[in-house]
């Protein structure tokens, strides 16, 4: 039975992965929904540029994203220096940086899922809510948002899964620091670089597969619940 228990290294990497990915998704959810709403509902000049910028991390090599983050959010980067001086927040070489890298990489997946869902919402329902006396904010929180919950759930699961597997941008931006930035994929990579690390690497592979499966099944159950709720 001892073989089933996680080693301290494994449990640390797993916990860190879940923590980093959880924060990455949680923090990107409000801006993600906002961007999805802007792309689904607003018309303005330069919209395609904004659309392209949001989707850029999807097509760029993650190393490029990680390096860009390092240059701008590092201690000496313009954004990083300003954040440190103003709010005493640093993203350099800690778990917050890992979460930021994961958030940027997974952001397009979240936005896409929510946007698709928003586009399928019957705007007639929103108009109906307005004639019943609801202002724009109330309409958004009582009608629009509940109706896009399926899309938000899909987006969250996709983004969470993408965050769990995030490697290139993270290692480039915040390196490989045990307990801070050594998430599951990075721990796995580390083990493949040392002699006799194969057994440990395979165990981490299995852990990754189990986590991914749990996330997928959870998303399936969740979206079925949402569908049932609509049908009453």
Partner 1 sequence: MIDLSLHKRQGAFNLAVEFTGSSGITALFGRSGAGKSSVVAMAAGLARPDHGHIRIGDDTLFDSERGINLPAERRRVGLIFQDGRLFPHMSVRSNLRYGEKLVPAGQRYASFDKVVELLGIGELLDRRPARLSGGEKQRVAIGRALLTSPRLLLMDEPLAALDGARKAEVLPFIARLSREFAVPILYVSHSIEEILELADDLVVLDEGRVIAAGGLEQVLCDCDLSAITGRQDAGSILTAVVHDHPAGFEVTRLKLGDNWLTVPALDLPIGATARVRIGAQDVSLALDRPSRTSIQNILTGKIQSIGPVEGGRVNIRVDVGGTLWTKITTLSLTELGLRCGDTVFAMVKSASIARGSIAVRG
Q: Which of 113, 114, 129, 171 binds partner 1 (CB under 8 A)?
A: 129
Kindly identify the residues of this chain, within the stretch 139-198, that bind partner 1 according to CB under 8 A.
142-143, 146-147
Residues 67-106 interacting with partner 1 (rule: CB under 8 A): none
Q: Which stretch binds partner 1 (CB under 8 A): 13-21, 33-41, 198-206, 223-231?
A: 223-231
Q: Taking CB under 8 A as the rule, which mask of x and - marks residues 109-128 in contact with partner 1?
A: -------------x-xx-xx
Convert the chain into a string of H (helix), E (strand) and C (coil): CHHHCCCHHHHHHHHHHHHHHHHHHHHHHHHHHHHHHHHHHCCCCCHHHHHHHHHHHHHCCHHHHHHHHHHHHCCCCHHHHHHHHHHCCCCCCCHHHHHHHHHHHHHHHHHHHHHHHHHCCCHHHHHHHHHCCCCHHHHHHHHHHHHCHHHHHHHHHHHHHHHHCCCHHHHHHHCCCCCCCCCHHHHHHHHHCCCCCHHHHHHHHHHHHHHHHHHHHHHHHHHHHHHHHHHC
Nearest-approach distance from CB 210 to partner 1, in angstroms: 34
| Closer CB to partner 1, 2 or 231, in the complex | 231
Q: Residues in the site for partner 1, rule: CB under 8 A?
A: 122, 124-125, 127-135, 138, 142-143, 146-147, 229-232
């Amino acid at each position: 039975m001892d073989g089933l228990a996680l080693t301290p290294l494994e449990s640390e990497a797993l916990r860190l992965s879940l923590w980093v990915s959880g924060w990455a998704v949680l923090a990107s959810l409000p801006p993600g929904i906002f961007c999805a709403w802007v792309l689904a509902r607003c018309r303005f000049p330069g919209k395609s540029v904004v659309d392209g910028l949001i989707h850029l991390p999807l097509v760029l090599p993650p190393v490029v994203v990680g390096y860009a983050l390092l240059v701008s959010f590092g201690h000496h980067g313009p954004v990083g220096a300003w954040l440190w001086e103003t709010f005493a927040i640093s993203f350099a070489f800690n778990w917050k940086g890992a979460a930021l890298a994961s958030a940027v990489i997974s952001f397009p997946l979240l936005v896409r899922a929510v946007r698709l869902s928003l586009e399928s919402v019957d705007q007639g329902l929103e108009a109906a809510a307005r004639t019943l006396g609801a202002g724009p904010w109330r309409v958004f929180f009582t009608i629009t948002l509940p109706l896009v919950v399926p899309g938000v759930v899909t987006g969250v699961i996709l983004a969470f899964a993408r965050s769990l597997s995030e490697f290139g941008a993270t290692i480039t931006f915040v390196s490989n620091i045990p307990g801070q930035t050594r998430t599951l994929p990075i721990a796995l990579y580390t083990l493949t670089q040392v002699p006799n690390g194969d057994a440990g690497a395979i165990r981490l592979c299995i852990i990754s597969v189990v986590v991914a499966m749990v996330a997928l099944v959870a998303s399936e159950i969740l979206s079925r619940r949402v569908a049932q709720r609509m049908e009453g």
